[in-house]
Structure 1
Amino acid sequence: MPGPLLRTLRGENLASRPVWLMRQAGRYLPEYRALRAEKGGFLELVYDAPAAAEITLQPIRRFGFDGAILFSDILIVPYAMGQNLSFVAGEGPRLSPRLLDTALIALRAMPERLAPIYDTVRQVRAQLSPDRTLLGFAGSPWTVATYMVAGEGSRDQADTRAMAYRDPGAFAAIIDAITAVTIEYLAGQIEAGAEAVQLFDSWAGTLAPVEFDRWVIAPNAAITAAIKARYPQVPVIGFPKGAGEKLVAYVQGTKVDAVGIDETIDPKWAAKALPAGLPVQGNLDPLLLLAGGEELSDRTRAILDCFADRPHVFNLGHGIGQFTPVAHVEHLLGVVRNWRA
């Protein structure tokens, strides 16, 4: 029988809630920091399949989460599309050449850069118990495009938004190219053993409604449709961070199997506004997990109570912070696992 996470993503409303945390494999864990000190930089870890598999499995061994999410990065797709990728300590990722300065057609695709990621998936699946779900992922086209255009992350994605207004045809070509690669990338992860996939749209909240429809909903709908056509049993989780009231349109337009909601969404509103029976994932504030205390317990129970009448995967509203105490994660898991619908 599939594990509780996969069953929930397929629409079962279980009495106890499966739980995993975005960025659960990473910097807050001492075993991760030790391995990184031994192996080198972030990209070197991603492309060392045994190391990446070990990092993926570390939080499962420590906490027993119901899902293991692949240790990788959303910028592997532009890297495979021909941009150079590096990670600058203290500053984050850099892509070059920027598509502000270089035409998309000037890039030389390098799909072989995806192969080591599939190897990681295979190694994790071979070591993961059958009751734990292996999650693959990719960045959604809009969020990936913001990095490809500007060459780095930004607070308001102004360069990319301006380009989309100024030359929508050229920007549509970028979105379409990312969409096509992402479909094949997710398919490769599924073929290697991923049982569900998540689309991260970290910058969806910066777009006006018309642009949200065009650059978030439409490409995510295309990806979801393609994955469901090939792999009808593999759930697709959409996570449009910052979507706010546009979340309903996102769910209806993309037809994702489950939706992740960030910490700014009122769970009471989401429980009423989203389609009945739709699996929901979220949405504890990562900073509350960092802070801990009685408020952490109270808010966790409140979120669980809000979604008692629908399938619910407990998670954070975004990724776990690097300075989060391990003891706080252990406390959170105790609260979630002792709750019953």
Structure 2
Amino acid sequence: MPGILLDTLRGGNLFPRPLWLMRQAGRYLPEYRALRAEKGGFLELVYDSEAAAEITLQPIRRFGFDGAILFSDILIVPYAMGQDLEFLAGEGPRLSPRLVDHALGGLQAVPERLRPIYETVAKVKVALEPGRTLLGFAGSPWTVATYMVAGEGSRDQHATRLMAYRDPAAFAAIIDAVIEVTVDYLSGQIEAGAEAVQLFDSWAGSLAPAEFERWVIAPNARIIAALKARHPDVPVIGFPKGAGEKLAAYARETGADAIGLDETIDPVWASAALPDGLPVQGNFDPLLLESGNAGLEKRAIAVLEAFASRPHVFNLGHGIGQYTPIAHVERLLRAIREWKG
């Protein structure tokens, strides 16, 4: 039984709308915080398949979401490519050595670092009740490369953008390497039980149009084509955060089965600009959810109405904030479930 989320990603315009939230398995849940206090740091949880599977399932048990998103991180790919990875309290992830001053060829790949993630997927698949869709994911090459080059996140991806202009051949080699590992990684998740996958391009919005075409659209198109050759029936969601008016070209050229929309996109514009019948996902502002503003339900209905004529997976415009009250999520869930279209 595929479930309403998987059917929607395959092109069904179904009601009520399927619902899941990016980063739904994580810090806003008291059960997650309790498990993390018991088990240790973030990376330790990711590599404890029993714990990671439990975290993946926690929001399904609490809220009954239509999709379970794998608990992991986009930086598992560079970690498997040979960079060291650590998460520093209050500072975020760090990769070393930084490729801004270290050759890609000097990395020693450690592909066994991917195996525990596949084990997590398999454990969730066994435990997930019928009708709930298991979603795998990876970071898109541009976003992953920004961390690999700079060693950390940044506001404007200055070091990576500069490298891409100064030495496009060296940067293209990084992108090519990320593509190769990502295709195998997502394929491994699918073989372990993932029924759909999402490509997160969190920093896509920092690029000029020509660079967006080269470093966002083209690499994602290569990944999707390779995945379709191996797994033709598995939907791929593309999420180029910050793409703005470049979103329509991304949708036309990447071959993605569904397109994720951040909260800055006008849903009425998006529904008119994107190819007819293409499933869309997202668009609700995670900060509105966190705030609990009185207009929360009204805005949720406005998003639903804007996409009433095409397949739509209700989701946020990015990840749920760690300080989001449970009661606000419950309000959103009621509004979505009660809307009849």
Normalising by the smaller structure, the TM-score range is: over 0.9
- The runs of at least 4 aligned residues of structure 1 exceeding 2 Å deviation read none
Measure, in 1, the Cα distance between the counterparts of 2:229 and 2:179. 15
Measure, in 2, the Cα distance between the counterparts of 1:295 and 1:260. 23
2:87 corresponds to which residue?
87
SS class of match (1:200): strand
Instruction: List runs of 5+ in structure 1 lacking aligned partners.
Output: none
1:9-52 deviation per Cα after TM superposition (whole angstroms, max 9, x unaligned): 00000021000000000000000000000000000000000000
Measure, in 2, the Cα distance between the counterparts of 1:207 and 1:200. 15
Measure, in 2, the Cα distance between the counterparts of 1:193 and 1:278. 24
2:272 corresponds to which residue?
272
Measure, in 1, the Cα distance between the counterparts of 2:309 and 2:296. 22
C-alpha displacement of 1:229: 1.1
1:165 corresponds to which residue?
165
C-alpha displacement of 1:305: 0.3
SS class of match (1:284): coil
SS class of match (1:294): coil
Measure, in 1, the Cα distance between the counterparts of 2:199 and 2:243. 14
Write out aligned runs for 1:167-182 (5 A): 167-182=167-182
Instruction: List runs of 5+ in structure 2 lacking aligned partners.
Output: none
SS class of match (1:260): strand
Measure, in 2, the Cα distance between the counterparts of 1:45 and 1:161. 32
Measure, in 2, the Cα distance between the counterparts of 1:61 and 1:227. 30
1:84-110 deviation per Cα after TM superposition (whole angstroms, max 9, x unaligned): 000000000000000011100000000
Write out aligned runs for 1:126-205 (5 A): 126-205=126-205
> Does 2:241 correspond to 1:241?
yes
SS class of match (2:68): strand
2:328 corresponds to which residue?
328
C-alpha displacement of 1:253: 1.0
C-alpha displacement of 1:294: 2.4
* Identity between Structure 1 and Structure 2 (%): 77
Measure, in 1, the Cα distance between the counterparts of 2:214 and 2:95. 24
1:120 corresponds to which residue?
120
Measure, in 2, the Cα distance between the counterparts of 1:270 and 1:325. 29
SS class of match (1:290): helix
Measure, in 1, the Cα distance between the counterparts of 2:122 and 2:147. 28
1:250 corresponds to which residue?
250
C-alpha displacement of 1:112: 0.3
Measure, in 1, the Cα distance between the counterparts of 2:130 and 2:306. 29
Measure, in 1, the Cα distance between the counterparts of 2:58 and 2:171. 39
C-alpha displacement of 1:316: 0.2
C-alpha displacement of 1:293: 3.1
Measure, in 2, the Cα distance between the counterparts of 1:194 and 1:12. 19
RMSD: 0.5
